[in-house]
Structure 1
Amino acid sequence: MKKIIVLAMALSLTATAISCKKGAGKMGNTVLNLGGEAEANSVIDFNNNFVDSYKNTSRQIESILKYTEEAVVKSKGGNVLIMPIITSSMDYTLSKIKEVPSGFGKDKAAIEADFNTYKTRKENIEKKFEELKSYMNSEDYKDDKGAKAEAIKKEIETDADALYTAGENVIAKIKPATDAAEEVVLKDHPMKEYIISSKNIMNSLDSVIELLGKQYAGKFNEAEAQKKYDEFARLVEANSKMDFNVKGQQYAYKKTQFENFNKAAANFVDHYRKLIRDSKEAGKIPDNDIQQMDSSYESVLNSYNSFVK
């Protein structure tokens, strides 16, 4: 079965995207040990499973970090009405990764090192979180006035920082081989033109999110925002006009997924247009608009990943 790359959700409004590059096929066969489709698929499988794990783990850790903040406040006598409820979740995608594929070539050892750090820090956080929950549920903080809660909070924050660093390193290091692997897989893929066109939208979308993230933290620049809008809207319009005509019954359902992706992208265009108008009036990007864009981004991303899987 041919494997296609899925993309990672934007973290802190900075996207991690993987794009096709000219000449990647040659690079894949000579430098990255991609001798054929089987090796390419193993590289893409690793990418997809790690991306899913990193995305879900990041969400979980953000929730845990919020819990630690509330735990410190409550344990020191502060007013906390209800402690955040965080349900444990099994990381099935991480469990699918048995090893780092040889297709990553000379970067394999470095990827393994960061991947092992990622797993270790993830386990540390989970164990420390369970320890903190037990401490809070038993109200042991009444004995030490919250000292342990504060200590565990710092430990989890340290592990979280290390996990994010390792995760970003893995994604950056697997990118060249994953690009090359997709070039191998897409060579004769029936949906090649639709996948490449849709990925161009995702690359443009990442650029939009990066720009808005910077302007949200700084000053709104209408001209820059409008330029990115025009580029993105043009790609979305062109993609929406493509007639999905792929032979083979096994691809029939992909037409609906392709259309859903285009609808999600068009909705992002609408929200983006509203953001420009609101930001121009306010002189800065309003919180509600940036939150809407982040939510809309995730919708486009999920639609894309469903289409290419």
Structure 2
Amino acid sequence: MKKIAQLLILPAFMTTTLIISCQNRDKGSKAQTQYAESNGDDANSIIKYNNGLLGQDERRDSYLKSLGNNVRSMRRLFDNPKATVSSIGMFEPFETPYIPKYGENISSPPSGLNSSDKQFFKDNVTQLNTLYTQIKDVYKAMRDYVKAQDYKDDNGAKGKALTDSIDNLGNKYYKLDDQVRAKLSVIADDAERVTLKDHPLKEYIYAMKDDRTKIAGISMLLDSSANNYKVSEAKLQVAFQALKSENEKHTAMSFSSRDEYASKKNYFGKFNEAVNDFLLELKRIMRDASASGKISEEDLKTLDYKRETIRSYYNNFVD
């Protein structure tokens, strides 16, 4: 996994946690772990654990991005303590708590995992929780420092040190999160094979998973090259074409006309339309970035909203 760049360099914290469990695999690909031979109960417990961690990761990532925006604003104040600023950093970023769905227990690795993997997730998820709490604690100290306008007394020195601390903790958090997600994604994908083995709609589920994986990869490239688009332009062009080809293929897939699948057919169609909408917006953003050399934070947010729409249609399909 790629090392996370510092918070102040990027337009926002970046993450791979939105990369879903299917890592560009299709229905004919081979399993990679022992969990493809799990029984149904064990497979379901692994999938629920995976979904729970994903849900928590998405909410944490949204909070950390908002926190990152505030930190960058405050850093400008530390660099120029005489600047007139009204309410930078005065408000806590909104944090949506994750509410586990029935059967999800992200605090305890499922019994379907072997002892070594259970220990891995127990230890590393605990460490992730610690790092997340530390980031919030340092941010609170920074916010208090700004509220009291102490940056006027030390010319922003403490504020800069706190910013560096958040950068360091954020890099550690996302690097570890990458490792946890990478390991769990492969395990969860193999466990899902058990549950999808006889599923009548599995080819559509894997099609949507493949699209979401490609979209997550594109988002990572955009985030990492926001301030220097040319670095990733060639890779993004290839990624764009790959997603476009997949979208065209998936849009052309025939779907059962049986009444019981009517809602699934509708959600699959909406999903493909949403991916196409993402592609149209991405094409515009890439064109502008090619001319300017940068990707604006507003453009990144726009793609985030469209990605959320895609996720929503996927969830509606599989629920």
Q: TM-score, normalised by structure 2?
A: 0.74
Which residue of the partner structure matches residue 118 of structure 1? Answer: 128
SS of residue matched to 2:113: helix
Which residue of the partner structure matches residue 8 of structure 2? Answer: none
Supply the AA of the counterpart residue of 2:35: G
For these two proteins, the number of residue pairs brought into alignment is 291
Q: Residue 86 and residue 306 in structure 1: after superposition, are their counterparts in 2 closer, same or farther (change >3 A)?
A: farther
Q: Residue 246 and residue 235 in structure 1: after superposition, are their counterparts in 2 closer, same or farther (change >3 A)?
A: same
Deviation at 1:65, TM superposition (A): 3.0
Which residue of the partner structure matches residue 70 of structure 1? Answer: 73
Deviation at 1:174, TM superposition (A): 0.7
Pair 1:24 & 2:27 matched: no
Which residue of the partner structure matches residue 98 of structure 2? Answer: 92
Which residue of the partner structure matches residue 6 of structure 1? Answer: none
Supply the AA of the counterpart residue of 1:44: I
Supply the AA of the counterpart residue of 2:83: G
Distance 2:60 2:112 in 1: 25
Deviation at 1:230, TM superposition (A): 4.2
**Which consecutive residues of structure 2, in runs of 5 or more, have no partner in the other structure?**
1-11
Q: Deviations over 1:116-166 (max 9, x none)?
A: 110011112223333333443344556655454344333333222221122
Mapped contact 1:73–1:80 kept (Cα < 8 A) = no
Which residue of the partner structure matches residue 4 of structure 1? Answer: none
Distance 1:93 1:217 in 2: 40
- Out of 217, 240, 251, the position equivalent to 2:251 is 240
Q: Residue 142 and residue 303 in structure 1: after superposition, are their counterparts in 2 closer, same or farther (change >3 A)?
A: same
Which residue of the partner structure matches residue 83 of structure 1? Answer: 88
Mapped contact 2:229–2:289 kept (Cα < 8 A) = no
Mapped contact 2:47–2:188 kept (Cα < 8 A) = yes
Which residue of the partner structure matches residue 42 of structure 2? Answer: 39
Mapped contact 1:216–1:290 kept (Cα < 8 A) = no
Q: Which moved more, 1:187-196 or 1:97-106?
A: 97-106
- Out of 183, 186, 195, the position equivalent to 1:173 is 183
Of all paired residues, the percent bearing the same amino acid is 25
Q: Which moved more, 1:291-300 or 1:123-132?
A: 291-300
Mapped contact 1:25–1:181 kept (Cα < 8 A) = no
Distance 1:136 1:11 in 2: 21
Deviation at 1:247, TM superposition (A): 5.8
Mapped contact 2:59–2:98 kept (Cα < 8 A) = no
- Out of 112, 127, 135, the position equivalent to 2:137 is 127
Mapped contact 1:65–1:156 kept (Cα < 8 A) = no
**Which consecutive residues of structure 1, in runs of 5 or more, have no partner in the other structure?**
1-9
Mapped contact 2:13–2:64 kept (Cα < 8 A) = no
Deviation at 1:206, TM superposition (A): 4.3
Q: Residue 149 and residue 272 in structure 1: after superposition, are their counterparts in 2 closer, same or farther (change >3 A)?
A: closer
Deviation at 1:93, TM superposition (A): 4.4
Q: TM-score, normalised by structure 1?
A: 0.76
Q: Which moved more, 1:177-186 or 1:294-303?
A: 294-303
Q: Residue 231 and residue 87 in structure 1: after superposition, are their counterparts in 2 closer, same or farther (change >3 A)?
A: closer
Supply the AA of the counterpart residue of 1:239: H
Q: Residue 230 and residue 58 in structure 1: after superposition, are their counterparts in 2 closer, same or farther (change >3 A)?
A: closer
Which residue of the partner structure matches residue 270 of structure 1? Answer: 280
SS of residue matched to 2:198: coil
Supply the AA of the counterpart residue of 1:232: L
Distance 2:230 2:111 in 1: 41
Q: Which moved more, 1:53-62 or 1:210-219?
A: 210-219
Mapped contact 1:41–1:185 kept (Cα < 8 A) = yes
Higher helix share: 1
Deviation at 1:293, TM superposition (A): 4.8
- Out of 111, 134, 145, the position equivalent to 1:102 is 111
Distance 1:50 1:11 in 2: 18
Which residue of the partner structure matches residue 167 of structure 2? Answer: 157
Deviation at 1:68, TM superposition (A): 3.2
